Structure 1
Amino acid sequence: MGRRLRAALRLLDPWALTVVGGLVALSVVVLMASPGPWREVVGPSPLPRLAPACPRDAAVFATVPGGRCVGAAWVHLDPGVPRLTVVLLPARLSVDVPGAGLVPLSEAVARAGPGAAAAALGAGLGVRFDAWASLDQRAVRRVLAPLSGDARPRRGRAALREARRAWRGRGPALAVWRRQYRSLREALPRQPYADMGVVAFSNYVLGFGAVSSDLDLQEAALVGRALKELRPGAVRVTCAPLLMLRCRGEQLWRPDRAALESLRRSVAGGLRVPARPPVVRARTVPARVLVAAPLP
């Protein structure tokens, strides 16, 4: 009888060990899930990190030495299609910068920095920017490089000279804006997007000094991958509708909010935005005088 009992216990030992181990593990799980002082030692479980999304809307500024902005753009990238829409803006456009007041973009970027200028521009356009970038003249020349590949070399060199002059901000504001529009309309669809290296693009944006941006490495790589999928027909360049308010010889360039609302809906809805050349509607504003006097 004793021999049979010992044999039965030997068979039951592994099962008992398994059951006891399972009960211990379950107790630990319940204990850690319950509130208590051990939380202070172990700490709560970290939340899973979500993968970053590709920035869709960015404010891009072209600058000259000294930081003065000579041209800007609202860039909308739709990675799902993919499609790139560039809404060109003149440096004469005024934005309301906290601490600096209502100033043109040409001054806002230099005085407040591209981050503050992007926030002010987004508020003026009614667009929430996910990122901003500032390009110096080296980066601008890379964007304009396809203009030199014209089938007629003399014409290509002339177009490139005119474009570079415009992107240095030389000339009357409206004429500069028009030349900038023509140059981007020709240069952007001809960029070699399919040959773009994602790593090379990320390194150029983040590490070569020609571009300053608030993108991190992952976001830059996502933008690079989306750009690599672009085809020439998926690139659209247009201009924002603007108002020029005149008063006593002074001018104030502001967004035309009624026309801009239609543009915003088209961009947000993924619709094909029609090419709109630079147009500024002029409006004369009567002068007003405000007299402030202390109360008696």
Structure 2
Amino acid sequence: MRTDGDTWDIVTGVGLTALGVATFRALESAAPDPLIQDSYAELFVRAAGEPKFMDILADPPTLAGAPLVPGFMGIRTKFFDEFFLSSVADGITQAVILAAGLDARAYRLDWPPGTIVYEIDQPDVLEFKNRVLAEHSATPRTEHRTVAVDLRSDWPAALAAAGADPAAPTAWSAEGLLPYLPGAAQDALFAHIGELSPAGSRIAVEAAPADAASSGLAEIETKYLNKNPFGDIDPAELFYYDDRTDPEQWLRDHGWSVHAATPADLAATYGVSLPDLPEELEQHWQRPRYLSAVRDPH
């Protein structure tokens, strides 16, 4: 259960979900014809040494006896990869990754010269990631600044202290983040983004209905998969279910032009053939919406 002001490292609480995502990014990267290449994901999983995720890495879950296609995580990752690459190709030079977790985009994407990538997350999470990358002599492909701050606190001040320019068009990402914020903190997050986004700024958001996990996603996954993809944790137990503004509606109401896509839309765009899923598992997988938006001129 969540509490006000709770914190975590990479093997506790919300941090474990970032480790789970890294596990499936590693599996996707090792698959035939992968959608993404993330050579750092496996390094993070092995450095953390969490037994459940080490087991998943060695013996991935199966669905009805067949290997679970890693492409499910690859689709999400590719969406955000392409968002950033298209943003900087159009001249945006400032990128902010909210709740960066074990995201290694500063190290694996081809950023144009002059781009600055800011990563915001809990101090212990960033310390772990930076330590593992340093141990493997990894070098970012652009200027990279970490901002160790809780997104429930005054993160805009911390971002400004790290050198972010509030007058520069910015590319923002909120991937796998919103359910882990209280409703008030989510609404404040978007309000701050609005204040820090001049015309031409862009944002990519993974959004889902407030009750998306309330009907027991972990139980459904356990029913059809031979092992829980997130080890012993149920991410839904870490979610907040209080009232909040719908992200797509908020963006439209505050001067952003929004494009929304379903996971199936993205799979079709990327040429991915996904297996038929049991209906209740399919319903859960299809609930997120992937939003990309541009801030209109005032």
| TM-score (norm: length of structure 1) | 0.25
Instruction: Flag the structure with higher strand content.
Output: 1
Query: Which is higher, the Rg of structure 1 or of structure 2?
Result: 1
| TM-score (norm: length of structure 2) | 0.25
